[in-house]
Structure 1
Amino acid sequence: MRRRLTARRGVLSALVGPTLRAMRPAPVAGALAAALLVVAVPAVLGLDLEPDDHARLLRFAAVCAATGLAFTFDDPAKPTTLAVPVPSRWPAAIRGAFGLAAFTAWWAAAVTLTYAGADELRLPVPGLTLEAVTIAALALAASAVTCRFSARGVGGPIAAPAALGLALAVAVAPTTPPMFVPAIVRGTVWTAVHERWAALLALVLAAIVTAVAAPARPTARRTTASCRHRDSASTGSSGCGSGR
């Protein structure tokens, strides 16, 4: 058992470099950088904002940053990959972990920048962090699902607007109180709202795990290429689609 765990750790370590190099860093990095500029505006211009205004900026910036995570699971090499020596969920898990790590680092920088540009600012950072992580998870879920069912392995152009739509749906959901309550609200109302956020995060994480862990279905291109390979390897074979 210990040898097996050690071997798996070695394989995962060897997968990290190639998997990260195969990712599309430009959309993720661009969205995170643009979102950081959103919260930097008050600090750069010296604006004196109310705490709830800073909270709105952080929420808006989190949505902007999440659109970049919608490209996390894009894999343009998917149509040419007939077989891999490891389960497909392993590279997907590395991509998802990297996306969450990048968003976590961005969120820490955004909160630090917000406090640096304000005097005596008090924000409910744990609750805002829960909201931001849930929005990021929605984007990752959209990316995982769209890439899973994309024959080309590129789901970002669909997942990004889908993530925005999901965030908007959460914002306008007819709940009482609403999912986005002012940052000046405290007490039982704030607690009740963020219990709903925690439940939503658990559901979204379960959806991501399901999309990543489910066995990959072969695309039409893979099936055709596999058939040609078997036909060329077996002389006299009638082929996959001959019906004999």
Structure 2
Amino acid sequence: MREVVVREVEEKGRAVLALVPPVWRSLPRRPLGTAAGVGLALAAVPRLVPGGTGAAPALLLLRSAAVAFALGLAFLLDDPARNVTAAVPIRRVVRTGLRTALVVPLAALCWTAALLLVPGSVRPPAGGLTVEAATLGVLALTGAVAAVRFAEEPRPGAAVARTSVAGAGLVALLAAPLPERWALFVAADSPGWAVAHQRWAVLLALTLAAGAVLLPEPLRRHRLRVLGHR
């Protein structure tokens, strides 16, 4: 029994490794590269402007860079061959996890570079701002996961990006009249910075949980596909 389990694990491992090259080739390089370029260009502004910028503009630029990176991640699950790859014996959880594992290290590298591009004298606290960037990225990825789960569109990235921008604008509009103790976007020198990022951490955890629920393929669709092969 143990040998059978080990053999099955080895076979699945080989199948996943065999999937790495085609998944790498199918990554949406153009939107991901554009988002990375825009984000890094925004982060570089404090060094390019004569005399530099103040702390508040630097914070705004880094937040804008985080939004740019997140919008790029909204395109991560775009795959023109989705109708073909859906029939492979590798579950969607694994295929999506593989795409994410290939791109997230590059996204983390871009974010680190963005932080380092801002001069240390005006750079906001990196920890809190990284939580913001991670939350925005996970929100975009969760939107892409939801689009793949509930629609057959092979390239939902553009719609997810538009929805993300509209949703962020609506949240900002609704949050504007709220007192500062409930704000998410606070100044780096605000006494509420730490508390605000506790709320960001809660939002990140909730978004991760929602993404985990949406990630598996619906059982009904899986059953219909199995019946179709019979």
Q: Which of the five TM-score ranges fits, normalised by the shorter chain?
A: 0.7 to 0.9
Question: Larger C-alpha radius of gyration, 1 or 2?
Answer: 1
Distance across 2 between alignment mates of 1:13 and 1:206: 27
The structural deviation recorded for 1:140 is: 0.7
> In the alignment, which of 84, 89, 92 is matched to residue 85 of structure 1?
89
Residue aligning to 2:156 = 155
Distance across 1 between alignment mates of 2:98 and 2:174: 32
Residue aligning to 1:185 = 190
Aligned ranges 1:61-72 → 2 under 5 Å? 61-72=65-76
TM-score by length of 1: 0.80
The structural deviation recorded for 1:91 is: 0.8
Aligned ranges 1:1-244 → 2 under 5 Å? 1-81=5-85, 83-115=87-119, 120-174=121-175, 175-177=178-180, 178-186=183-191, 189-215=192-218, 218=221
AA matched with 1:51: A
For the aligned residues, what is the CA RMSD? 2.5
The structural deviation recorded for 1:114 is: 1.0
Distance across 2 between alignment mates of 1:216 and 1:68: 30
Deviations 1:66-123 (A, max 9, x none): 11111101121123456212112211111223343232111001001112xx6x3352
Aligned partners of 2:58 and 2:122 also within 8 Å = no
Indicate the SS of the match to 1:213.
coil
TM-score by length of 2: 0.84
Distance across 2 between alignment mates of 1:11 and 1:176: 53
Aligned partners of 1:63 and 1:167 also within 8 Å = no
Aligned partners of 1:137 and 1:204 also within 8 Å = yes
Alpha-carbon spacing, 1:58–1:217, altered in 2? closer, same or farther (3 Å): farther
Alpha-carbon spacing, 1:85–1:55, altered in 2? closer, same or farther (3 Å): same
Tell me which protein shows more helix as a share of its residues: 2
Distance across 2 between alignment mates of 1:88 and 1:216: 12
Aligned partners of 1:51 and 1:184 also within 8 Å = no
AA matched with 1:12: V
Distance across 2 between alignment mates of 1:92 and 1:102: 16
The structural deviation recorded for 1:6 is: 4.1
The structural deviation recorded for 1:42 is: 2.3
Alpha-carbon spacing, 1:46–1:13, altered in 2? closer, same or farther (3 Å): farther
Distance across 1 between alignment mates of 2:214 and 2:29: 22
The structural deviation recorded for 1:216 is: 6.6
For structure 1, the residue ranges without an aligned partner over 5 or more in a row are 231-244
AA matched with 1:64: A
Alpha-carbon spacing, 1:216–1:36, altered in 2? closer, same or farther (3 Å): farther
> How many equivalent pairs are there?
220
AA matched with 1:190: W
Distance across 2 between alignment mates of 1:169 and 1:148: 24
Aligned partners of 1:89 and 1:212 also within 8 Å = yes
**Identity rate, percent:** 34
